[in-house]
Structure 1
C-alpha cells in the first residue's frame, strides 16, 4: 500500500467539524463523521473481512474485497447472529457481520496515539459492537484510539466437525479467528486514523476477557499486540469450564448436524443462517451453563490448555491489567442453585466435597440462611469468573517479567446498586448517561469514579502502567506480586488491598490440581 493516498489531514477536518470526514485505506475510501461537540471522529461499520457466507461459512476469515465508491462509515454495521433470543442485537442480525468501528481524536495524522481494541462479552452466544455501552467517544477523548468489532457467535462461530477439519486442518474457533483478523486489520490500517500500530492493547469483558486470555495463549498472535486487559474473565479449562476438548467439540457438532438432518458440510452450508441460529442448543433462561458452542482446543488457534500456557510462561509476554467484581454471580445465581435451608446446604457440601467439607465450610459457611445464601453466591461467582481470573493473574505474574496490575470492583450507589458481573463496563467507557440501563441518573461520585477508571485504563494503554507519575493525587495502583496489598479496590474509596478471597481461590485450585474438583461450570449453572 502506498503511503501518500492514506495520509489524511485530520486537522483540517476537525477545523470544519460540520463536514463529514473522508479518508483512504487499502481497500477504499471511508466517510466518517465528527461526534457532536466531542472533538472525536468516528468511522463505523468498516468491513475487516469478506462476508463469511456461502462457501465461506465455517472457514477462516478472508481478506475483504476492495470497494470503488466511498463507503458510508457513519452507521454501525449488522450484528452477528445471536444464539440467545432474549438478548436481541442492537442492529439487524446478518451473516455478513464482520465489521469494526473506530473512534479517534481529531488530531494531525502524524501524531500516533495508543489503540484500545475492545472484545465484547456474551458467553460467545450473543453480543455486538453496536451496543451503546461500547461507544468509544468518551474514552477516545482521553487521548486514545478506540476500536470495537464483531465476531461470529454460537454455531456460526464455533461449530466443530471432523469434515471441517479436513478442509482446514482445524475447526470450531472461527469466532476467535475473526478476532485475530480484526486485530491484524487494526495493525495494518490504524495509522491512517492517527493510531500507533506498535501500541495496541486488546481488552475485553466476560467472554471478551476469556478471548483475551485465549489470544494471549495462542501462537497465532505473536507480536500482534503490546498489552492486555481482562475484565471478569481470563480463560476456561476443558475440565471445569466451557473450553471443550477436541473430541467433545466434534461430538457436539456431529449431534447438531444430525439434528438438522444434514449429512455433509454442503448440506449445512445450504441451510439459511436463521435455520442454523434457531437450531442452537442455548437458552440463557433455562440453561445459563455453557452447553452451547464455544471455543475448543482445536490444536491450532488454541493448541493446548491455556492454564498450562500461562503457567509455563508461553503466553504473549505483555503487561496485563485484570480483575473481577464482588458480585460476579448475580446474573447467574437464581438459575444456578436452588433456594435451600442451611441443613440442605451443609448436606450438599458434604456430598460434593467429601473429606474437604470442613475446609469448604470454613471458606463458604452456611450456618444460617443468610450465610448459606451469601456463600452460594460467592461459590458461583468464584466458579464462573473470580477464581480463574485470579489464577491467570497469579500465573502471569509469577511466570512473566512483564508487570501485572489487579483490581477488585466493589462500587455501589443508587445509580449502580450492585457490583454485579459487567457493572464496571459503563464506568470504563464513560457512558454513564447514555447507556446506564438505570432508572437513576449518575451522581457526581459515579462520574468521579468513572473518570478515575478511564484514566487508569488509558494510562495503562499508553505506557503499560495505570499510574501517572505526574499525578500524585490519584491512588497508586501497586504491581501484583502475590504478597501484601497488591490489588486495587475500586469502590466508594479507592485503595490498595490484600488479594480478596485468596484462600477460596487457592482451595478451588487445589481441588483442580488433584483431580477432585466436584463442581463444574456446566453442573453449577444448570437449572435445578
Structure 2
C-alpha cells in the first residue's frame, strides 16, 4: 500500500477505537485490517542552521498566500516584512531569510494584500511596498501600490514595508522537505526556539510544556518546566522535529514499530509532554496577535498524537489566519491512573490527561504572544476523545480562564464522564498484573513502559468481561473522572445546575453517520431481517437496540438487504451523538450560553484502498472521523494524495466557519465591513456568506447542515425521535452517570 494511504488508515483507526464488543469473544480481540504500509522516505533532517536570524531583529514577518486549499491551483506565496525600511535594508532583510525581494509580476498581489487575514492590521497602515527593483537607476527603486495594483518608482531611501519571495513548498509528511530556512524566537518563560518555515507557516515542533513524567513523576501532576534547562542568553533549542508521542495501546491495530512511527509521526515514549506551534505570522512587539486555536487530538484516550498526519494544520493556519497549537497528553492508565482510597490523591491525583491539557493551556497563555498569537483569544477544539476533552475542560473550574471558545467535534456526549471506582478498578487490575500491591505506587513507578502496557492490556481484558461493564465501549474505558476536585461533577449534572464554564461560546456537532464507522465491528456481515433479534442479542449485551428498531422512528425496510445494519447504525448515531447534543444544547441555552450546533453531511476519510471493515460500509456515508481532514484541509498532506473539487470546497467552508468562530465566537462573518479594507477569506466564500447560521434556541432547534454545494439550516428535524429516545430508552449519562443519580432529560 502506498505511503499516501496512511492518512486514510489513520482515519479508519480513529473510527475503530469506539467499538462494541461481542459477548462471545474477547472484548479486545477484534483486529482492524492492517495492510502492508510502505514507510520509505527521504525526509530532510538537517537540524539547526547556524547564523539563523532572530524574529525580533527582523520585526514583523508574515507569510501570505491566497490559499483555496485546492492542490491543483498555484498559491503564489510571498513574505511581508512589515517594518518600514529603505530599499537596501529591505533587500538585506529578505536575504537574511534566504529570499529575494518579490518580482513585480507576482500574480495576485493586490488582491492578496487587500484580503489577507494574516497581516490585516499591518497592511492597513501602508499602501506601498518595496518589491524587486525593475529600474536601472541608482536613486529610485520599485514599489507596489496595493490600492492601484501598479508599480511606481520612489526614492530608494524612503522607508516602507517590503515583500519577499517565499520559495518553499508546503510541508508534506514523508517528503524531502526543505528545513534550511530557519528562524529563532525567544519566549518569555520557555527559552529560545529555532524552527523552520514552509509555504504556509512557521513550524515550531516538539517544545516541552512540562517536565518529563517519568520515574517518580509517573502518575503525578504535570510539573512546571525548570526554565534553566531551556533558558540562558545563548542557548538555542531545536524545534525542527516532533517530540516523542505518548505511549499508545495497540487496541485493534497491529503495526511494526516502523509503521507505528510513520502513523504517529514520531517515536513513542513516556517523555511526551510536548507541543507544537504553527503560525503564519511572527508579529512585532507592538502588534496585536492572531487568534489561537489549540487542538486536542482524539483516539479514545489510548491512541493518536498531535503529529499524526491527518492533523497537519498548514492549510488551516494559512487560510484562516490563525495560530494553531497541538500537543500530546498522557493516555490510558498512564494518563488516567487513580486508585483511591488505597493510594491517596496526594500521592496519585488522577485525571492526568486533563491536567496535562490544562498545563499546555497555561504554556499557551504565558508564551504564545512570542509566536504571533493573542493569549486572550484562545479557542480549544478537538474531535472524538478530543471532543470529550472539551467536555472535561468545560467541567474543570481551574481551566475556565484559559480559553474563550470551544469547538467540540463528534464527542459521544451521551456517554458520561468516569468516576473513581470505575477508573480505580482499571488501575488496580494493572497494579495486580504488574505484581505490585494495590497501595505500592513506588512499585508501579519502577516498572518499564512495556511492563505497564502489557499489565493494563491484561487488566482491561478482565475488566471488560465483567457483566457490570457490558455497556462500556472500547473508547469509553478511559475518560476524565469526576474526582470532586479537578472535576466536581458529570458535565450533564453541571449543565443542569449551571456550574460548567458558562461564559464561553460553544460550537459542537457530529457527522451524519457517526456510528457507521463501528457497525462492521459489531455486525461484520449483512443480517437477514428474520434473524434480526437473535443476531443482535448475540453480539450486544443488555440489548437496548430492540427498543430503537421497534420504535416508530427506526423502521426497517424490507426492500433493503442491509436494513438491519442500516437501522442499527442510524439508531446508534442518534443515541450517542445527535440526540444528546440536542439535549445538552437545550440545557446550556437555558443557562444563557451561546451555542451553535451542526451536522456534517460531507466528509473525507476511508476509501477503496481498504478491502474490508469500515470502508465498504462507510462508502457513501459520512462516518466518525470523516471530519478530520476537512477541518485541517489536510487531504494533500502526503505525497501522491490530492485535495481538489468538492473536497477542497467543503474544507474551505469548514475552515472559514471554524476560524471565524475562533475570532469572534460566532461562525458568521460580520455583515459590516471591517474598519480596514482587509477581509478574511470567509468574506470571499459564497458558501459561507449565503447562509446564516443561527445560534441555538430551544424552540426551533436549529442545526447547521454542512454540505456541498449548498449548506442549509434545518429546524427541529430530529426533535420527535430525540424526544422519543429520551423518554423510552434513556441515555448512558442517565443510566451510568458517575454519581448514579438520574439527570433530568431536558434541564
Same fold per TM (> 0.5)?
yes
Offset at 1:301?
2.1
The range that moved more, 223-232 or 15-24, is 15-24
Distance 1:101 1:514 in 2: 37
Alpha-carbon distance change, 449 to 196 in structure 1, aligned in 2, over 3 angstroms: same
The equivalent position to 2:697 in structure 1, one of 457, 461, 481, is 481
2:490 is aligned with 1:305: yes
Distance 2:60 2:648 in 1: 30
The range that moved more, 176-185 or 102-111, is 102-111
1:140 match: secondary structure: helix
Distance 2:696 2:727 in 1: 21
Offset at 1:331?
2.3
Distance 1:396 1:435 in 2: 40
Is the 2:409–2:508 contact (alpha carbons within 8 Å) kept by the matching residues of 1? yes
1:254 match: secondary structure: helix
Correspondence for 2:297: 120
Correspondence for 1:495: 712
Offset at 1:356?
9.0
Offset at 1:501?
3.0
Is the 1:115–1:195 contact (alpha carbons within 8 Å) kept by the matching residues of 2? yes
Distance 1:206 1:355 in 2: 22
Distance 2:486 2:648 in 1: 40
Flag structure 1 segments of 5+ consecutive residues without an equivalent. Answer: 521-528
The equivalent position to 1:275 in structure 2, one of 451, 456, 464, is 451
Name the TM-score, length of structure 1 as normaliser.
0.87
Please show how residues 217-232 of structure 1 align to structure 2 within 5 Å: 217-232=395-410
Is the 2:210–2:359 contact (alpha carbons within 8 Å) kept by the matching residues of 1? yes
Correspondence for 1:104: 279
Offset at 1:348?
8.1
The range that moved more, 160-169 or 404-413, is 160-169
Flag structure 2 segments of 5+ consecutive residues without an equivalent. Answer: 1-53, 63-78, 80-93, 99-180, 466-471, 608-618, 672-682, 738-747
Offset at 1:306?
1.1
The equivalent position to 1:29 in structure 2, one of 180, 192, 215, is 192
Offset at 1:358?
8.3
Offset at 1:395?
1.9
The equivalent position to 2:661 in structure 1, one of 452, 460, 477, is 460
2:516 match: secondary structure: coil
The equivalent position to 2:597 in structure 1, one of 406, 413, 420, is 406
Is the 2:243–2:274 contact (alpha carbons within 8 Å) kept by the matching residues of 1? yes
Is the 1:211–1:234 contact (alpha carbons within 8 Å) kept by the matching residues of 2? no
Is the 2:660–2:668 contact (alpha carbons within 8 Å) kept by the matching residues of 1? yes
Distance 2:496 2:409 in 1: 20
Q: Which runs of 4+ in 1 moved over 6 A?
A: 347-356, 413-416, 514-520
- Residue-by-residue CA offset, 1:173-228 (whole Å, 9 max, x unaligned): 10111001101110111111111111110100000001101110112212111000
Aligned length: 505
1:468 match: secondary structure: coil
Is the 2:55–2:61 contact (alpha carbons within 8 Å) kept by the matching residues of 1? no
Please show how residues 503-518 of structure 1 align to structure 2 within 5 Å: 503-511=720-728
Structure having the higher Rg:
2
What is the aligned-residue RMSD (CA, Å)?
3.2
Distance 1:117 1:355 in 2: 37
Is the 2:412–2:576 contact (alpha carbons within 8 Å) kept by the matching residues of 1? no
Distance 1:514 1:445 in 2: 36
Correspondence for 1:524: none
Distance 1:500 1:301 in 2: 37
Distance 1:260 1:175 in 2: 22
Alpha-carbon distance change, 499 to 434 in structure 1, aligned in 2, over 3 angstroms: farther
Correspondence for 1:52: 213
Relative CO higher for 1 or 2, CA cutoff 8 Å, sep ≥ 6?
2
Offset at 1:449?
1.2
Offset at 1:516?
12
Correspondence for 2:507: 321
The equivalent position to 1:265 in structure 2, one of 435, 438, 441, is 441
Correspondence for 2:125: none
Correspondence for 2:585: 393
Distance 2:554 2:509 in 1: 21
Is the 1:52–1:59 contact (alpha carbons within 8 Å) kept by the matching residues of 2? yes
Offset at 1:115?
0.5
- Residue-by-residue CA offset, 1:414-457 (whole Å, 9 max, x unaligned): 99753111111111111111159xx8743322111111110000
